[in-house]
Structure 1
């Protein structure tokens, strides 16, 4: 049954001094998450929950990850030094962004946005998780325009 994959609200308590605010304690079954994928876990919890339009205001107060799930994380394949060496950037935080709007741009305009970000001083950009290979912006076309942007920037 699909019920075993539902998140469960196991406790609700009012926020002291706030008439219409509550703290909800929610648990999700580990089978919902890919082992070792921080990205999958955070996208599933934060992305989907915060995108739920029925909620007007929401804040994540705490996140507890079971030790059994933590053990599935292998860590990055290499350290930050490798990334810094690839980018030739040292002595400061690496700065990046997600291209917005995430959907609706042509591949050419997407590449232009990447160019503007890089020329503006960012070290990298990334695709939003909803950007794949849609008919209006195929992956290969986007890749070619982004590669051109990287070369020109």
Structure 2
């Protein structure tokens, strides 16, 4: 009985340590979170306020490429990704071409991955040839 109790206590301690070690890392099983888009098709984004957010509960995405707030739905199955046509493109802006590039790029996306290395946490959206079409940085949530 003492051996079982010691074993269970050891397992519990390891689980707590593991949970603490990964507290700041995103859950890579699900596509979620708020991301600052840094590059499209290998080029820096013209508008530094470009964003994309994924809601895993409703399977909706929300994006901003410098003009309109757009949204749509997405399907994610084992890191394979498919976007619906975006909604919310209702005004013509001076930088509408940036938005067209952004929304058009989403049409090529087929896969996703999260990279966590010395440069930080990055989301990469890839096409069928595994070329990185979108790269974004995780936006840390702040408590109000």
TM-score, normalised by the number of residues in structure 2:
0.21
**Larger helix share, 1 or 2:** 1
Higher relative contact order (CA 8 A, sep 6+): 2
Q: Greater Rg, structure 1 or structure 2?
A: 1
